[in-house]
Structure 1
Amino acid sequence: MSRRNNPRNRKDARVEKEDYWGIIMLIVAALIIIGIGGAFVYSKKNMPEIEKSTLCPKSGATSVTALLIDATDSLSIQQKQAFLSAFQSLSDSISLHGRLDLYFIHDTQTSLLKPVVSLCNPGHGAEISELVGNPRHVEQTWQDGFGQPLEREITQLLNASPEKESPILESIQSVVLTSLSAPIDRDKPKKIIIVSDLMQHTSNASLYRGTPAIESIIQNKSFNRVKSDLRDIDISVWMLARDNALSRSKLVELWQRIFAEQGAQNAYFCVLVESNGCQNDR
């Protein structure tokens, strides 16, 4: 019998072939394990160190959004619902490790405004792979540390008592100084969202006395004291429609010029409409 046709030789060849593929599979499995382990180590190594109280990276937030709410006049039930709808979309859109600072318009004569709450988005569970993290834990952190605290503060703000004055310009200036001027945030995307009827009302300037010529506002000494540096800051206005307000078109035109005089490149205006959130009014 030839060596080639020897049954024992054929069996040995099959065994060698099976051993060969077994080794290949072990190597592939090892490479997969090493790859997963490497991804996990890389993820951990590149994960920023987080402040427990704010959920923000100690190296600074990836972006800063300041939400300034005008509750100096009461909001209707419909306006509250429209705002809550728009706010839900906003909180979901904050970038990973981006910061959201919550303010309400208030007197700034004795002190600058401070954020009612300042938190960073820790990320949703759906954004985390099970290979490098715990999606359920991440989602719970978002709910307990970011979503629910913001909702509680928003509810309190919307139920706040009306105030005699509505210092919108002064409040914007305060927000820029306290939230958007830190050196650590210099090159980060920055945004102010103003929820208001835009009816500035203080002893120095009040739109309830009629729509002034824009030149008279810009040349007024009080404007120079309250204007801000809005360069490199995106501006959005969620307008509240009220019966005693001027026409929206006149208000938008007026405030576009006011923002431009402070260096803003553009400003987006929309109207809070019943339960439909913010709708473009342009």
Structure 2
Amino acid sequence: MFKIVAVVGVVLIVGVVYFTVASARRDLDPVTLCPTMADSVTVLLVDVTDPMNTAQRQDFANQLAKLKNSIPRYGKLIVAKVDATGDQLLAPVITRCNPGTAEDVSSTTGDPAAVQRQWADGFDKPLTLAFEQLAKASGAGQSPILESIQSTALTEFQKPGLENTPKRLIVASDLLQNTGDVSFYRSLPEPRTFTDSGPFRRVRTDLRGVDVELWMLERSDAASTQPRSLAELWERIIGAEGGEVRRIYNVSG
């Protein structure tokens, strides 16, 4: 009788372990490593018009590394560049999800070495290469930051099913919107007047539920083009779109 109970006990334990492992395992896209529904969505929107100095390049690289390591298992990171939208919305430079590392599994519930290789080859290395390209100046004549945020919100944050998914937008830029309709180069508008204006209504979007970070890349003429009121203007803009600025970071240099 004792042997029968012991066998039944072992079978139950094995069954529980198998069910736990099977429940935790998720099918991932072979390229992006993303599950059907990611556990979180982070978008990095980069606008590098002018070359960075040495200190800025290093600090920017540090922030990118921290960002990459902050993505939780099964969280999605989309990287895009500020660009004109015209007839098409922005296409990501790269999209990857964190498949987890060896620390997320044990030899009982999986293969730690295989998971670590998947993270290194499919997540870490491709993002590192993409980040290296992002740090290069584009030399673009315009900076349609607001249009790019609108595009990103439409394609990445407002998809059905993401209502309760944590969402984060990081804008790395000098924050000087510059298009034919709206240019912060000429002068900074009064925040409330701007968010009540027609040009803003054309580019506004829905950022409700989105935490926003602004990484300000300082220009050589920052004293005249990037006063303190620039950050205040952007806080007003993001707030008018329903988002919340959680962090404003001035990239060193």
Same fold (TM over 0.5): yes
Q: 2:205 touches 2:241 (CA, 8 Å); kept in 1?
A: yes
Residue 41 in structure 1 maps to residue 14 in structure 2? no
**Which of residues 213, 224, 228 in structure 2 aligns to 1:249?**
228
The residue number in structure 1 matching 2:176 is 199
Q: State the Cα deviation string for residues 87-130 of structure 1 (Å, max 9, x = none).
A: 11111111110100000111112321011111111001112111
Q: For residue 244 of structure 1, report the CA deviation from its aligned partner.
A: 2.5
User: Structure 1 residue aligned with 2:146, among 152, 166, 169?
Assistant: 169
- From 103, 121, 126, the equivalent of 2:98 is 121
The equivalent residue for 2:55 is 78
Cα pair 1:72 1:105 within 8 Å, conserved: no
| 1:264 matched residue in structure 2 | 243
Q: Following TM superposition, by how much is the alpha carbon of 1:217 offset from its aligned partner in structure 2, in angstroms?
A: 1.5
Aligned partners of 1:272, 1:208: CA distance in 2, in Å?
20
- Between 31-40 and 184-193, the greater mean CA deviation after superposition: 31-40
The structure-2 alpha-carbon separation of the partners of 1:273 and 1:29, relative to structure 1 and needing over 3 Å to count, comes to farther
User: What is the DSSP-based 3-state SS (H/G/I as helix, E as strand, rest coil) of the residue aligned with 1:144?
Assistant: helix
What's 1:231 paired with? 208
Q: How does 1:1-282 map to 2 (within 5 A)?
A: 35=13, 38-58=16-36, 60-245=37-222, 246-273=225-252
Distance 1:26 1:198 in 2: 71
Runs of 4+ in 1 over 4 A off after TM superposition: 23-34
Deviation at 1:248, TM superposition (A): 4.5
SS at match of 2:244: coil
Taking structure 2 as the reference length, what is the TM-score of the superposition? 0.91
Q: Which runs of 5+ in 1 are unaligned?
A: 1-22, 275-282
TM-superposition CA deviations, 1:35-89 (whole Å, max 9, x none): 356324321233222221211112x100100000112222223222111111111
Q: Write the distance in 2 (CA, Å) between the matches of 1:146 and 1:26.
A: 48
Q: Deviations over 1:196-234 (max 9, x none)?
A: 111111111111112221233123211101011111111
Greater Rg over alpha carbons, structure: 1
For 2:11 and 2:250, the matched residues in 1 are separated by 53
Q: Matches of 1:138 and 1:216 in 2, distance apart?
A: 52
CA apart distance, 1:161:
2.9
SS in structure 2 of the partner of residue 193 of structure 1: strand
For 1:57 and 1:196, the matched residues in 2 are separated by 30
**C-alpha contact 2:47 2:81 (8 A) present in aligned 1:** yes
Whole-Å separation in 1 of the counterparts to 2:61 and 2:9: 49
SS in 1 for 2:185: helix
Q: CA RMSD in A?
A: 2.2
The AA in structure 1 aligned to 2:191 is I
8 Å contact kept, 2:143–2:177:
yes
Q: Which 5+ residue runs of structure 2 have no aligned equivalent?
A: none
CA distance in 2 between partners of 1:48 and 1:145 (Å): 16
Residue 265 of structure 1 deviates from its aligned partner by: 3.5
Work out the number of aligned pairs and report it: 251
User: What is the TM-score of this pair, normalised by structure 1?
Assistant: 0.82
Identity across the alignment (%): 35
Q: Distance in 2 between matches of 1:71 and 1:101?
A: 17
Distance 1:151 1:46 in 2: 28
